[in-house]
Amino acid sequence: MLQHDCRHNIRIVLVNTSHPGNIGGAARAMKNMALDQLYLVQPREFPAPRAVWRAAGATDLLEKAKVVDCVDDAIRDCGLVIGTSARGRRIPWPIINPRDCGTTVWKESICHPVALLFGREDRGLTNDELHKCHYHVCIPSNPQYSSLNLACSVQVIAYEIYVASLERNDLTRDKQNAWDQPIAKNEDLERFHTHLEEAMIDVGFYDPDNPKQLMTRMRRLFNRVRMDEIEVAVFRGLLSAVQRRLKSNIKKCDQ
Ligand code: SAH
């Protein structure tokens, strides 16, 4: 067995899955690759006999799967979120290949929960969901027919994590070299983005009626930076100070 096994920190999140067979197939793929944290965001049909049938011997994963209402509920406490996508999007996002994804997920799972998001069978993940991610991962495939079956894509990504786990059993060293502060969790970042948006509106820098993708660009910037908890707190303190000063100046002008 591996020295530092943090695979309970690795979660596979299936978003709005239509076909219960794919949920079962994903559970089987996960169990083959020794993962067991399955999150289901508003599945269309679950529990379902077809899921059980496709899961074969992995029904234990279905039994303990967590069904949640929205993506945020599945990733709140995660320090790393990776979205899977078969195609490029309008605003390019940091991309990681499946192999590096396996290594990164395995390495970071020692420090915090990590989520891998998988989209709907018919239209993948929404832009909002993809913008919550630090990286996007695309499984290389035939450009003329690039979209894999959902459970098959879970299989490929879970396999890469498993291979990484076999190659990297020296995670104690990673822990020692880790950052001095915990990386900000998704819920801290969501609160930060809301605060940033408010402050940018207050100072007249951002007009929500004419957004021009400003908030998306801000998300992309801060997801690249990977702020730690103290950095988020300092930044939010700065935003609050700007807002306070603005309010007191407005009051002075009114007097
Ligand atoms: N028609 C959809 C594809 C959905 S396939 C679209 O154009 O986005 C369902 C899900 O399987 C995707 O959301 C993604 O999570 C995963 N998937 C399928 N093919 C993939 C690929 N080549 N790389 C990464 N993920 C893939």
pLDDT surpasses 60 at 216: yes
Please check whether residue 70 lies inside any domain of the structure: yes
Q: Of the residues 178, 199, 230, which one is the last residue of a structural domain? A: 178
Mean pLDDT of the chain: 94
Does residue 204 sit in the same domain as residue 81?
no
Helix, strand, coil share of the chain (percent; to 5): 50, 15, 35
Does residue 170 sit in the same domain as residue 194?
no
- Ligand 1: residues with CB < 6 A are 84-87, 118-119, 121-125, 138-139, 141, 146-148, 150, 153
Q: What is the pLDDT at residue 170?
A: 62
Widest CA span in the chain: 73
Q: Of the residues 178, 195, 224, which one is the last residue of a structural domain? A: 178
Nearest residue by C-alpha to atom 20 in ligand 1: 86
Does residue 240 sit in the same domain as residue 196?
yes
Q: Domain residues for 198?
A: 186-254
Nearest residue by C-alpha to atom 1 in ligand 1: 123
Domain containing 245 — which CATH number? 1.10.8.590
Please check whether residue 1 lies inside any domain of the structure: no
32-41, 151-160, 203-212, range with the lowest pLDDT: 203-212
Atom of ligand 1 nearest to the CA of 146: 22
Contact present, 12 and 116 (Cβ < 8 Å) = yes
Please check whether residue 97 lies inside any domain of the structure: yes
Please check whether residue 85 lies inside any domain of the structure: yes
pLDDT surpasses 80 at 183: yes
pLDDT surpasses 80 at 175: no
Atom of ligand 1 nearest to the CA of 124: 13
Cα 64 to Cα 6, 8, 105, distances in angstroms: 18, 13, 22
Rounded distance between C-alpha atoms, residue 68 and residue 43, angstroms: 9
